[in-house]
Structure 1
Amino acid sequence: MNISYYDFKNLPDQQSQCNMVMTNGRVMNERTVNTLKYVLYEISCFTVEIVYNTFTNKIEGMTVFQNKAAYAV
């Protein structure tokens, strides 16, 4: 699925964004620090980092990064 950074940021809520990433994203990297697991996904032309709390099995946060290199001339 191809979705723009803008359309992704305008999804109705964080749960919709997380579902999109987990369904269509490609895991690029992951690391665990104590009870937090940081997973970096690539989706379309941007990346998303989701932070999972492995102790509570909940999402602690999400950061969306616009890949500037995709627009370089």
Structure 2
Amino acid sequence: MQPISDEEKSRRRRINQSVIGTNAMEGLSLDEETLSLMRRYEEGEIDREELSSAIDLHVARLLRERSALAGAA
């Protein structure tokens, strides 16, 4: 992936801060893996589609783990 401009990094930082703030207002916090993915997006290591796909996979894994734990109880 090509490096992104400082302006684009700032734009992405504002988006990430908005997402974090919105979740906080709802009483939710993001886990470290999600925050790490968001930082990678902010730095230009991954694009929006890659971020979305990675978060989808992460959430699916968390749901599988949760389901497995519920089934074991």
Give the TM-score taking structure 1 as reference length: 0.30
Rg larger in structure: 2
Give the TM-score taking structure 2 as reference length: 0.30
The structure, 1 or 2, with the larger RCO (C-alpha pairs under 8 Å, 6+ apart) is: 2
